[in-house]
Amino acid sequence: MNVNIEPEWKEALASEFEKPYFKDLTDFVRHEYAAGTCYPAGRNIFNAFWQTPLSRVRVVILGQDPYHDVNQAHGLCFSVQPGVPFPPSLQNIFKEVSAETGAPIPADGNLTRWAEQGVFLLNTCLTVRAHQAFSHSGKGWETFTDAVIQTLGSRRTGLVFLLWGAPAGRKASLIDQSKHLVLRSAHPSPLSAYRGFFGNGHFTRCNEYLTQQGTSPIIW
């Protein structure tokens, strides 16, 4: 199946695109986008892969499904375009970055600047129906993104996986923790941020590990 995805990722995931579940997923997504409003825009479904090719990934942040309100999702987990108000989870992420590093809260919520440094901003599901959270879950995206995580784990070494919340935390079983650093905590949403996301030290610990691996830290 010819999927419009960054060439390195296309080669690495070629066998996945030929599996029956992926054809069913593709048919479902095409029908959903034709029938009503879905996010992100079709051109941005694989944006995380275009922004951070396989060979450049250094850190993986795993979200859930895309933001489902107007003008928010653009294919990078937790990220919004300039001019869009910060969703609550992103506000809490920036608060934790500031608390750990002293960096000021940025002017916009576009995390492309992280992606360009090698932070792979992957959602568990890559699409969603407008205003209906989790509406595209259980359709095959989770199987695909499991394969993405396993591909990263097997083809690369010395990556940092930041898994926030129970759904992301369950992905830890897919990762060889003798080859990679896996950091788990509560999700940054207002419902759980005070139960272990705030104060988790993930951004500092991530950079310490990257430095130990002989690579530059992320400018959060």
Q: Which residues are catalytic?
A: 65
Which of 136, 120, 143, 101 lies closest to 27, judged by CA? Answer: 136
* Token pair belonging to 25: 């997923």
CA distance 107 to 54: 29
Residue 34 CB contacts under 8 Å (≥ 6 apart), including other chains: none
Relative to beta strand 128-129, strand 160-164 is: unpaired
- Any alpha helices (H) in the chain, and if so which ranges? 7-12, 14-17, 20-35, 47-51, 88-101, 112-115, 141-155, 166-169, 202-212
C-alpha to C-alpha distances, 184 to 8, 16, 158, 170, nearest whole angstrom? 28, 27, 16, 10
Are the CB atoms for 77 and 52 separated by under 8 Å?
A: no
Q: Are 129 and 68 in contact (CB under 8 A)?
A: yes
Angle at the Cα of 98 from the Cα atoms of 95 and 100, rounded to 5 degrees: 110
